[in-house]
Amino acid sequence: MNNILHVLNGDATLYGFEQTGLEGDIMVWREVLSEGPVSTNVSTADFWNRRSEFICKAFDETPEHYHDGMIVHLERLNEPYQEINLRFEYDLHFQVNLLGAMMLLEQQTNLSAPAIYLICPAEFPGIENFGGMGELNGEQLEYLYDNNRVQLGEYDFALATQAWNLYVSNNADRLKAWLDETQFWGNLSPLKFAMQAHLKRLLTNANGLNYIHQKLLDI
């Protein structure tokens, strides 16, 4: 086993990442925690059983494929890596996945604490309308490792825990109050905008529609 683990935000990034010269094991996060059932404790079997049921029903997946593509790889987060690099994008979908990954790391009791880093670029030099790490080649992904990587600390994990609990609760009033009260976002600045986007999903207008539903209707 290597001393380094790279957690990738999806298979789109895997092809480019395999072209890098970076050492370490790879884990692809194949989940969509921004949709479907979630609960506070991410490390329980019940959490992942419920996820499997949802994914299989919503995306016409088989339990075996979900198990082999996602569940089996979660064991890597139990292994004694010295360094874990989380590569997730800045939008709501990926930020919720990031929270899930951070909660798993936070809730593991048998981990000797590794150094945990985040790579979350909102832009890339020379690329207009940057769409995410899946469009980068190996050299560009190495550039992010050298220039965009930040180490997550206790404050970041405390903030992520608050955000995850609020996301699970689906309480718009509590979420809005937390967003208004939180002035410092540490190394998780994209989380603010992601949670603001989630708040729009929770709030409904006079017609009982949330922001996304109303936008679709307007279009």
Mean residue pLDDT of the chain comes to 93
Domains of the chain, residue spans:
4-169
pLDDT tens, 92-110? 999 999 999 999 999 875 5
CATH number attached to the domain at 4-169 = 3.40.1360.10
Ramachandran region of residue 65, left (φ > 0), alpha (ψ -120 to 50) or beta?
alpha
pLDDT tens, 165-193? 999 999 999 999 999 999 999 999 999 99
Select from 108, 91, 96 the least CA-distant residue to 5: 108
